[in-house]
Amino acid sequence: MLKRFSTIAAMALVLVALNSCTDVQEQPNLTNNLSDEVQQKIINLGFSPDGAFAYEDGVIVEGDIFLTKQDLDAQALSTSPNLLIAEEEQYRTFNLVTGTPRTIVVSTTGTINASMSTAINDAIGRYNAENLNLTFVRGGSNGGGNINIRVVNTGQYIASAGFPSGGNPYPEIKYAKTYTTSSYSNGFKTTVIAHEMGHCIGFRHTDYMNRSYSCGTGGNEGQETNGVGAVLIPGTPSGPDAASWMLACLSATTNRPFNANDKVALNYLY
């Protein structure tokens, strides 16, 4: 049976089972475990608190976006004068990586097996094939990169990341150890890593306005004019884009290389 994975901030992917005969249970809505104050802070940052849950020293929203306590305590960002909103399109945050052309080093920590290492290299290759003003290179295995991929022991999500700050990419992608094994295809792992890298450089989910498009459930992921923002990228389609690498959810067999609209979005920003 088909399993679906819903992403979390800037993509903490959460495993859900839809019409499945397996014993995997749907990720519960954990919002009630968060105080009203924390939920309001999530709203102030431009996200929906629906389904958000506490993790480490912060919270995860949208299935794969990690917000630290410092993020939650930060003041809301200003709105964008160029904001355009539609239903299903590529979106960016108010903050992007600046100082381009620029080289972004992708390092790792934790146990990185051969298949996972190949997927990291392939995700880097997908970006570099687009000849962007961002060039990604593989760094070492002891961290220290501009983006560090850390393998973690968790059953709460597949992977998570965040959004740029101060002109720099978000510095960490957390990737659950469970999904590093050879049971998951190279295409799946490459897509997950590329998706999280997309968050790190400022992309929100393609179906931000209606995450039920790829997830089967859910709605608008947050306020487009508050906090991190959700700015329509010119030239991307106004209708659903089924193959976008930044859709909120994917199945265990999904492989999403950049489609034509993804390439427009990437080249517009970088």
Amino acid at 79: T
In DSSP terms, 147 is beta-bridged to 106
CA distance 205 to 267: 17
Domain total of the chain: 1
102: domain CATH number?
3.40.390.10
Q: 84-123 pLDDT, tens per residue?
A: 333 345 666 678 899 999 999 999 998 899 999 999 999 9
> CA distances (Å), 151 to each of 4, 136, 175, 201, in order?
21, 20, 5, 20
Return all residues near 192 (Cβ < 8 A) that are at least 6 apart: 11, 13, 158, 159, 175, 179, 250
Our measurement of the distance from residue 63's CA atom to the centroid of its chain's CA atoms, rounded to an integer in Å, reads 8
Amino acid at 33: N
Which uninterrupted H or E stretch holds 70? helix 69-73
pLDDT for 72: 80
Q: By the 8 A CB rule, do 62 and 198 touch?
A: no
**Residues of the chain where predicted confidence (pLDDT) is lower than 50:** 1-30, 32, 76-88, 221
**Which segments of the chain does DSSP mark as H helices, in order?**
36-44, 69-73, 114-128, 186-200, 212-215, 260-269
Tell me, what DSSP letter sits at residue 196? H
* Structure-token pair, residue 62: 């949208």
Whether the ω angle into residue 81 lies within 30 degrees of 0, i.e. cis, is: no
Tell me, what DSSP letter sits at residue 60? E
CA distance 142 to 70: 25
Amino acid at 94: F
pLDDT for 87: 38
Domain that holds residue 94: 3-269
pLDDT for 22: 20
Strand ranges (E), the chain: 3-6, 14-17, 53-55, 58-61, 65-68, 91-92, 102-109, 134-138, 147-152, 159-160, 172-176, 231-232, 249-251
Pick from 68, 44, 46, 47: which is nearest to 58 by CA?
68
CA distance 63 to 65: 6
Tell me, what DSSP letter sits at residue 31? G
Q: 43-80 pLDDT, tens per residue?
A: 777 676 777 788 887 888 767 777 878 878 775 443 33
- Residue carrying structure tokens 């094994």: 181
> CA distances (Å), 4 to each of 170, 202, 249, 252, in order?
26, 24, 7, 7
Give the number of residues written for the chain: 270
Q: Is 122 exposed, middle or buried (0-12, 13-18, 19+ CB in 10 A)?
A: middle
